[in-house]
Chains A and B, each alone.
Chain A
Amino acid sequence: MSVLIVGGGIAGIQASLDLADSGLKVYLVEKLPVIGGRMSQLDKTFPTNDCSMCILSPKLNEVARHENIEIISNAEIVAVEGEAGNFRVKIRRNPTYVDRSKCTGCGVCATLCPVNAIDEYNEGMSYRSAIFLRYPQAVPKAYVIDRSRCVGCGICQNVCVAKAVDYTQKEEIIELNVSSIILALGGKLFDARRRGEYGYGIYPNVITSIQFERLLSATGPYEGHVFRSDGKVPKKIAILQCVGSRDAKTNPYCSSVCCTYATKHAIIAKEHIPDAEIHIFAMDVRTFGKGFEEYANRAKEEYGVIYHKARVAKIFQKKNGNLIVKYERDGKSFEEEFDLVVLSVGFEACEDIRKYSEIFGINLNEYGFVLTDSFSPVETSKPGIFVAGIACEPKDIPESVAQASASAAKALSYEKERAVVGKKEFPPERDVIGEVPRIGVFVCHCGINIASTVDVEELANFAKTLDGVVFSDHVLFACSADSQERIKKAIKDYNLNRIVVAACTPRTHEPLFRRTLMEAGLNPYLFEFVNIREQCSWVHRDKARATEKAKSLLSAGVHKARLLEPLQFVEVNVVKKALILGGGLAGMTAALELAKRGIECYLVEKDSELGGNLRHIYYTIDGKNPQDLLRKLVAEVESNDRIKVFKNSTLESVEGFVGNYRSRIKTPNGIVEINHGAIIVATGAREYKPKEFGYGHRKVITQVELEERIGRGEVPKSVVMIQCVGSRNDYRPYCSRICCQAAIKNALKIKELNPEAEVLILFRDIRTYGFLEKYYERASREGVIFVHYTPENPPVVRTNGDEVEVEFYDEILGEKLISKPELVVLSSATVPNEDNKELSKLLKVPLDQNGFFLEAHPKLRPVDFATEGIFLAGLAHSPRLIPETISLALAAVSRAMTLLSKDKIIMDASKAEVARERCDACGICVKACPVSAIEIAEFKTRTGVELKASVKKAICLGCGICSASCPKGAIVVKGFTFDQIKSALDGLLEVSA
């Protein structure tokens, strides 16, 4: 049996990879001819400004190559029958008129096609041909004919050497049996034309945010140069928020991502046009995610981006194409002239969702998104069908990825047996030992990214002059499928035994080329990557000098490549047990889900009872009872045979490595030693006990304390709430994400229990993202008073005996007001646990600057750590709400399952190794090793026993500290040996420049 995933965006891709890695067969259906979704159109991703395509492209290729994944693109679902565990799905694959199996992606057809059609990928700002590939790195890399634009001239069919063009192709119906379905349909962007007052579609210099994204992109219409429609470089740009979001006329909900992406646009635009002036108009700046607030602060402080707390009423165009923006702030009207206006458009439910809701038999919510429950955030109303990504609520990439993994975890439970256990058969490895190096060099143009600054042809010719190079070529995109084929062919034709690729960075693309080598029967470690894009073409201007530098980098690569040796992957058995640290909502959810999949869990809780923060939550904003959930979870966990709970316990020590950890747990009954294969860190966070605003006084309490009082039935008559207490300041720059929601939740509860009660909320930005917006709106409607304050002019709480008063500044009235409420409630920050530091040292995983755990990649690996076998869930990652906590916990389960579902895992072969002939067992390396992977062991020789250093490969991280300590170069890290680097140095310095 298998799983159907509908939608090939980042959520669908992540879900596919998780399931496929756990050994399931996956069908990935995509409406467009290629996968990649919205993320493929992005230039950068916030908050790290990572190049979007650079992090996505390896994932695309992984999907394309994964033996367990079948991509069905240009297709849609026609019918679904059956129920959870056994769905019968009918899929219609529409004709692309190009045979995917034959097309090499060479693109000759597209260059000769006479048609100029609007390029949707560049949001209509450039043209493409009728036979086209959506974007260069696309997967599957096969051209398609847009028959609506095709004139049928037949040129493409004539020029295609592969005879792939087939005008007669017919649609195809595919029928599949699957056990579960994941809907990762994505969303659609709001059509800005519907907000006529902004003049989109009429004024040429009013563009949408996605168009701006394309303009900023190096693969965009002007190759990364920002021009207006008239070719002028805009010097003053306005970015308008909430276009199609938080708007009663169109979509009342908040689209969650626009504030942060606008910040990103402002920063990137500033990098492109350093003297530009950029204004962002937003009612509230909702940079609530992990690291987003700091990102916005950087935009303000380092890049000088100006934020206006205002909503734009109307835009007029001047004769010269400039735009007059009319806006209101603090009750006053302003007008300002801009060169360019960018509309930050929000998300809407995708076009097909209504049709699919009928086909799949699932319910939609009031906004047309897939309906989910806050305690089961990835389950639809129909069992066996799950949802991930924007299909159920607008969200950013990490949340989508987490949800995708979460839905994958759920889908796993319907799988009775692992039908396909993926191990792709590679051709037998050629033995190159004893062969003289025969190096093949491939220089990548990366479109124009490299070729515009580095003379790639000269570089390729230069490569031929280097010793050992027998083949050298330059290719448009080295990472594309056809280039991979070319590499494989060259390996065969020229009997190559080392490959050097000069392209982008090994950090993203090395795995891809290694696999290519394996497919060609070469050991994957006979590959060397030369970075001539990020570290050459992108950072230099002078073509001649950049080419010289590229030559010396290439020379270094070839020198090193000559000394590369075939390495064998390290195989390790997996102990199919997990250790879960923290018995809160995340920990318990993870434990239960793992237990359902047959994994034994050790759940360690430092308190005397399970539940964590959930114990202090009495109601949710949408009216559900978390205490019911808590009772249910605790009962299930404690009665589950596969879960062993240690209360009042802490982790004492951890030894071992991925798949084979040995931990000591300090319990009240002494130390318990356990073996396990994975670790999930779900240690949570806690509410900050404020030092400010008179906290400690009987009448000054926090939101959690208020909730407990209300839970006890004590409803105050008048309350002043102060937001951002302990958050978003110099000491704690991050946004605590949940407090706005908490304040509104409690305000509404107070109003519900006592409609006469007065509630005043003093806020900086109300961050009720996504569908939470409706509660903000309801609170306003029900008479909760919201007053804005700025950090420069904060409210003051004064206590006088038993009395308490709040003084605050009202911007609209322009004067100071005093309120004497019954209670002052502080929306206090969520802060990381103090023992995180210790735990991070024990587990050897990093913390971010705020003290939360730092995931492997903020965008695409939200629940992984860089250290394999350790995962992250719940508030230990960052502050979050119940549904988000559950989905993160499920995501961690899915990621852990990709490991725990295997009997053996295969590890990187780049580890330390001792050349025993040279080792004198001085033990300097033993002392230096940070993970104690080296020991002095006895080895038998002809004449007796000798002592030599020996590396425990499965523990070794390959850091090479030992190799630099060794006085004679007897211990080396394979792939970075003493001689390889020395040789690279020689090569680097040999080229004069």
Chain B
Amino acid sequence: MNEVEKIREELKKSGAERIVAFVKKENEPREVLAVLSQKDIDKVTFSPLSVNNPAKLLMQLNGKVAVVAKGCDAMAIRQLIKEGKLKRENLFIVGISCRGVIDYRKLSKIEKLSEIREVRLEGEEVVLKMRNGEKRIPFAEVIEENCLYCEHPTPVIYDVLIGEAREGRKDFSDLEKLEKMSREERWEYWISQFERCIRCHACRSVCPLCYCEECIVDPSNLAISPMSTAEDKASYPRLLGKTVNAKDNAIYHIIRVLHHAGRCSGCGECERACPMELPLRKLERKLEKVVKEVFGYDLNEDIPFFSKLDMLGD
């Protein structure tokens, strides 16, 4: 039985009415998430192109749901359970010990996507089933950078686990390059990134932890109540302008990641969704590092109220 068959088997066994899993996208080798019923079980597939995080999708569904979750997906699911957004008893989690996913953008540079029919992982190679014949490329060439530093490739929460549990990386060497730069170099680097941002807010829309209906930076961040007057509505002060201005963009991203301190699951959806390809994970990673090294707690633990920091005093 291969991986996909095992997944289908477990999903079937779960008996859940609804299944959140990956299905093949029409016309492209990519896979997308779908909500299926048991009868569609054969559509379920899984490959290194099953990149998305199902956690946000789960929040819309009531009742028993079986879900396929990679390491990072499970992190997000667990965080959402902690925050009361998901109910553990409603979930049947088919955990997948993840080796990493393919960066679709990298792949598209190497091969013409319309030629690729199917993708699978064999050892250290990616096997591309093409319109005519097969091609093999090293996985290292197309793996998402984010996955290289994944701390929890094995789901931290699951009902069944498919594949061998594997160790994650615990270091932050991905940040070294930036940290070694001088402050001005870093500023130059980041401001050129933030300049590109068009504030489409896709990063927060796809983020499983950005589930606020209204965001603090939304231009019309105003709770309208019977008390609010025309004056309120017209001249309500906003935190940031909606103007695409590198500085406001920077503030938006800082606030966004601050709200994720100690919560981010590391799935990388933000970076994947960003049409301007901003290195948003770097910011999240920095906070992960601070939370771990300064506050002394691991994302995997329940964050204790009194942390190392509280004892520091001054």
Contact = CB atoms under 8 A, between A and B. Distances in A.
Answer whether A and B touch in the complex at a CB cut-off of 8 Å.
yes
A202 interface: no
Categorize the interface residue count of chain B.
20 to 34
Interface stretch (B100-108, B220-228, B285-293): B220-228
B6 interface: no
A915 B214 CA distance: 12
A968 B216 contact: yes
Contact of A968 (B215, B224, B225, B227): B215
Chain A interface helix/strand/loop/mixed: loop
A917 B223 contact: yes
B216 A922 contact: no
B171 interface: no
B214 A918 contact: yes
A331 interface: no
A927 B305 contact: yes
A576 to B, nearest CB: 35
Contacts of A979: 236-237
Nearest to B214: A918
A17 B305 CA distance: 42
A434 B216 CA distance: 24
B213 A434 contact: no
Interface string A430-462: 000111110000000000000000000000000
Contacts of B83: 922-924
Contacts of A810: none
B84 interface: yes
A920 B213 contact: yes
B214 A921 contact: no
B214 A967 contact: no
A982 B236 CA distance: 11
A918 B223 contact: yes
A921 B84 contact: yes
B239 interface: yes
A982 B255 CA distance: 15
B216 A986 contact: no
A983 B239 CA distance: 9
A915 B223 contact: yes
A436 B229 CA distance: 8
A565 interface: yes
A923 B231 CA distance: 32
A936 interface: yes
B212 interface: yes
B129 interface: no
Contacts of A927: 305
| Contact count band on A | 20 to 34
A923 B305 CA distance: 14
Interface string A111-134: 000000000000000000000000
Contacts of A947: 84
A967 B212 contact: yes
Nearest to B224: A917
Q: By CB atoms of chain A within 10 A, which of B85, B214, B215, B225 has the most?
A: B214
Q: Which of A433, A922, A923 lies at the interface centre, i.e. has the most chain B CB atoms within 10 A of its CB? A: A922
Contact of A565 (B211, B227, B237): B227
Contacts of B213: 918, 920
Contact of A433 (B212, B227, B239, B305): B227
Interface string B80-105: 00011100000000000000000000
A969 interface: yes
A923 B81 CA distance: 11
B259 interface: yes
A968 B239 contact: no
A609 to B, nearest CB: 38
Contacts of A924: 83
Contact of A967 (B225, B231, B259): B259
Contacts of B85: 922
Contacts of A922: 83-85, 211-212
A531 B128 CA distance: 71
B304 to A, nearest CB: 11
Contacts of A915: 223, 225
B303 to A, nearest CB: 9
A417 B213 CA distance: 57
A350 B212 CA distance: 70
A260 to B, nearest CB: 31
Contact of B212 (A563, A923, A968, A983): A968
A40 B259 CA distance: 51
A434 B214 CA distance: 24
B237 A983 contact: yes
B214 A968 contact: yes
Contacts of A986: 237
Contact of B237 (A433, A921, A936, A982): A982
B86 to A, nearest CB: 12
Interface in B235-285: 236-237, 239, 259
Contacts of B229: 433-436
Interface in A331-358: none
Nearest to B212: A968
Nearest to B221: A969
Contacts of A918: 212-214, 223
B12 to A, nearest CB: 32
A982 to B, nearest CB: 6
A936 B84 contact: yes
B144 to A, nearest CB: 27
Nearest to B239: A982
Nearest to A434: B229
Interface in B290-314: 305
A933 to B, nearest CB: 16
A986 B238 CA distance: 11
B204 to A, nearest CB: 10
A206 B239 CA distance: 63
Contacts of B259: 967
A947 B211 CA distance: 14
Nearest to A936: B84
A927 B82 CA distance: 11
A938 to B, nearest CB: 12
Contacts of B237: 563, 979, 982-983, 986
Interface string B47-72: 00000000000000000000000000
A920 B213 CA distance: 7
Contacts of B236: 979
Interface in A919-968: 920-924, 927, 936, 947, 967-968
Nearest to A947: B84
A436 B234 CA distance: 12
A920 B212 contact: yes
A176 to B, nearest CB: 49
A923 B223 contact: no
A917 B227 CA distance: 13
Contacts of A967: 212, 216, 259
A967 B7 CA distance: 37
A156 to B, nearest CB: 49
B84 A923 contact: yes
B225 A917 contact: yes
Contacts of A563: 237
Nearest to B217: A968
B211 to A, nearest CB: 6
A563 to B, nearest CB: 8
B248 to A, nearest CB: 14
Interface in A810-846: none
B291 to A, nearest CB: 15
Contacts of A970: 223
Interface string A40-55: 0000000000000000
A927 B213 CA distance: 21
16 contacts: A435-B229, A565-B227, A915-B223, A917-B214, A918-B214, A922-B83, A922-B85, A922-B211, A924-B83, A936-B84, A967-B216, A968-B221, A969-B216, A969-B221, A979-B236, A983-B237
Given A918-B223, A968-B215, A979-B236, 19 more contacts: A433-B229, A436-B229, A437-B231, A915-B225, A917-B225, A918-B214, A922-B85, A922-B211, A922-B212, A924-B83, A936-B84, A947-B84, A967-B212, A967-B216, A968-B212, A968-B214, A968-B221, A969-B216, A983-B237
